[in-house]
Structure 1
């Protein structure tokens, strides 16, 4: 598998740079153990090397950040964001979902299987760059890429785009390090007569300044954040 472009993600609270040249862990992980991480990648102790190896396994095994990325819609966990959004879409509880995919950025889709195929093994994507094959696959499955030229990640603009397309019951995932987007979405939700279900994800690294924004979400994944567990529950 060959990485295309440049990408930056959070994994176990560590910031990771992924490029055609290398996988580089830019900061120390914020956790020492994760049962899901062990189940998926076999690491009993989380350190810089374990983070790097898990990202490399994701690249080698699933084409993460590669042109031949796997789009497997099998559920990974029982109550993950993508798993829940897929069910909501298939049961007609929401009209579309606004999610993030590496190589594409913000994606809008009413296809529950695509939501799961995108999000099954993702962790928080800080930034990404366009990968034409991924964008083409998403579009072929009924997904709308917010900006195929830049692969921008902007969940606020993604929700606005979904509403402009005529969707009214919209679910959106917002990473903890972009928590202000939650307040921004709530601000225009009523004005546009929409019903936006906000799923707050990837919260391991959040600070207390993020709590006020995250508290406005409908569903909050605490991740490994003691702050979220104490302040929100």
Structure 2
């Protein structure tokens, strides 16, 4: 028996023992990325339910039969795809991420990272699922604890203590202060993390300022503040409808490494950033 609270399309959702309950309906009306992935032109509580049901049925998410290895890359410039390619090239040796049923996890194998991260979205809280925890451990992962604590700063500390030196840490925009703390700890330990911020819809001006100061890569999601504050300070943008902003040389390296591995065509040219044609953005920007 386990309960998981997540955000999807800015809807608040509870998944408990395979049952899905939309607690607060989505405030995002249209997301180009979700439209491409799932074919929904307009979001509502039914679309959220359908996507989560698909995740449960196809990938075993939120249950004991969760898929823990994958080589599929459904998102062109998603966080897991960028980190997986960096791990494959030896630019990263450990990623501190979150997984339902496990909480904060340190992953070292690309195929495991892709399975965990490809469809994970806005995990707020989660409860233990023994099969997921055991499966991750069997695949060489480190778990912060058995209680499913989500604490990315402590996850980074554990990764450093385990001997890793090229560490990526994912955070969410509403926990922007973690980015500052991670960089401070990197200065102390001599192991500078690459900090990437995902799930940024609805963040404040202050949070966007913090992300721009302390993150290496930031996903725009449906955030007006990220586009206006982070985007203007970025050094590189990849993607248009859901821009991904590289803020540092380390961030640029990981993004360009993903471009190197990307099999479809790309155009790279000089531009003032951000480049966000209004007709291609999510609605509404928050």
Smaller-chain TM-score bracket = over 0.9
CA distance in 1, matches of 2:44, 2:165: 43
Shift, 1:78, TM fit: 2.0
CA distance in 2, matches of 1:57, 1:161: 33
The answer as to 2:83 corresponding to 1:85 is yes
The answer as to 2:197 corresponding to 1:200 is yes
Give the corresponding residue for 1:61: 58
CA distance in 2, matches of 1:205, 1:66: 29
CA distance in 1, matches of 2:54, 2:152: 28
The answer as to 2:28 corresponding to 1:31 is yes
CA distance in 2, matches of 1:155, 1:21: 26
Give the corresponding residue for 1:170: 167
Give the corresponding residue for 1:218: 216
Asked whether the equivalents of residues 106 and 152 of structure 1 are also in contact (C-alpha less than 8 Å), the reply is yes
Asked whether the equivalents of residues 30 and 205 of structure 1 are also in contact (C-alpha less than 8 Å), the reply is no
CA distance in 2, matches of 1:81, 1:99: 10
Q: Which of these residues, 226, 229, 238, is aligned with residue 228 of structure 1? A: 226
Give the corresponding residue for 1:94: 92
Number of residues of Structure 1 aligned to a counterpart in Structure 2: 229
TM-score, structure 1 length as denominator? 0.93
Shift, 1:41, TM fit: 2.7
Equivalence map 1:60-139=2 (5 Å): 60-71=57-68, 72-139=70-137
The answer as to 2:143 corresponding to 1:154 is no
Asked whether the equivalents of residues 209 and 229 of structure 2 are also in contact (C-alpha less than 8 Å), the reply is no
TM-score, structure 2 length as denominator? 0.76
Asked whether the equivalents of residues 209 and 230 of structure 2 are also in contact (C-alpha less than 8 Å), the reply is no
- CA RMSD after TM alignment: 1.4
CA distance in 2, matches of 1:7, 1:22: 10
SS of the residue corresponding to residue 189 of structure 2 reads: coil
SS of the residue corresponding to residue 170 of structure 2 reads: strand
CA distance in 2, matches of 1:183, 1:98: 16
Does 50-59 or 102-111 show the bigger shift? 50-59
Point out where structure 1 has 5 or more consecutive residues left out of the alignment. Answer: none
Runs ≥4 residues deviating over 4 A:
none
SS of the residue corresponding to residue 26 of structure 1 reads: strand
CA distance in 2, matches of 1:198, 1:221: 12
Shift, 1:21, TM fit: 7.0
Structure possessing the higher radius of gyration over alpha carbons: 2
SS of the residue corresponding to residue 195 of structure 2 reads: strand
Asked whether the equivalents of residues 18 and 56 of structure 2 are also in contact (C-alpha less than 8 Å), the reply is no
Per-residue Cα deviation, 1:61-101 (whole angstroms, up to 9, x for no partner): 22110100123231111211111111111111122111111
Does 210-219 or 118-127 show the bigger shift? 210-219
